[in-house]
Chain A
């Protein structure tokens, strides 16, 4: 088994996930971690696939779906390494009046303390006159949650945003 990262982008419409995953199934691929979501008016898929044949046959299997749904597809072979990354221990929630620089400001402050972003979801929301930006980050803070609070608190005034920092502990019952 070899692994690849598959990227799919296309104008959002019903049936994209079904067409792509059915094609992968017929090409003997199995799907690992995946993120599939609408961004703007586009539907996006990024997923790790395991394939047993060659990448060419995967592309060939996807071809009818690509043509029918007008998709753009990209396949990157990746080395199959065991996942050893740390689990997220912190969630950072951000919201505020939308303006350029929120993401750069917040993630810059996080990077400075060695915070590893594992998952970032954001969206522009609100009305056209009062645009709102909402972002949820999950990641691993090597020096603990207090270091994250210290790092992002100054952004409240500087960027005019609300920032929440919450512990993320997986409790095993």
Chain B
């Protein structure tokens, strides 16, 4: 087991699109163990994505038990994850291990259904909501080279505005 170094912005490697995992072997299991340990060692300790440790593969780990206790799925290893469905929207303030000392408001879906493979390549499906759903979406963004900085919203968008609404003539 090893705690891996975390890439921090501005590092162009964080903006690469990650490749799908094809081979589910011992090396993958070892990497997932290291990635999990790295996550638990971090300041948030609830989520991590492989590109954050300079491994451009579609691997995400989320475990929001430090925040929610047992009221969640616990440790989720999401390999080649895909969002199957989402609904609702919520504004929440996010920070990221790869963007030290900055937090900002981001809109995420409130409920999601995500399909992924586990570390042995078996198909898994999870329904997540609230904080756990936010964590999964945040980490999955890393796989496509997005940081929460790419999704910042102004505080004013917390309320929907319709001022200066004009009909086109």
A→B interface (CB under 8 Å): 87, 91, 93, 95, 119, 121, 123, 125, 134, 136, 138, 168-173
Contact = CB atoms under 8 A, between A and B. Distances in A.
Contact of B94 (A87, A125, A170): A170
Given A93-B158, A136-B155, A136-B156, A170 B163 contact: no
Interface string B94-116: 11110000010000000000000
Contacts, number: 56
A125 B162 CA distance: 9
A172 B95 contact: yes
Contact of A173 (B135, B155, B159, B163): B135
B93 interface: yes
8 contacts: A93-B158, A93-B159, A171-B44, A172-B42, A172-B46, A172-B96, A173-B47, A173-B96
Contacts of B155: 119, 121, 136, 138
A119 B159 CA distance: 15
Taking chain A's interface residues, is the majority helix, strand, or loop, or is none over half, making it mixed? strand
A170 B100 CA distance: 12
Given A121-B155, A173-B135, 10 more contacts: A93-B159, A125-B161, A136-B155, A171-B44, A171-B93, A171-B94, A171-B131, A172-B103, A173-B44, A173-B94
Contacts of B97: 172-173
Contacts of A93: 158-159
A86 to B, nearest CB: 13
A37 to B, nearest CB: 9
B74 interface: no
A122 to B, nearest CB: 10
In the A-B complex, list the 4 residue pairs whose CB atoms are closest, starting with the nearest.
A172-B44, A172-B95, A170-B103, A170-B93
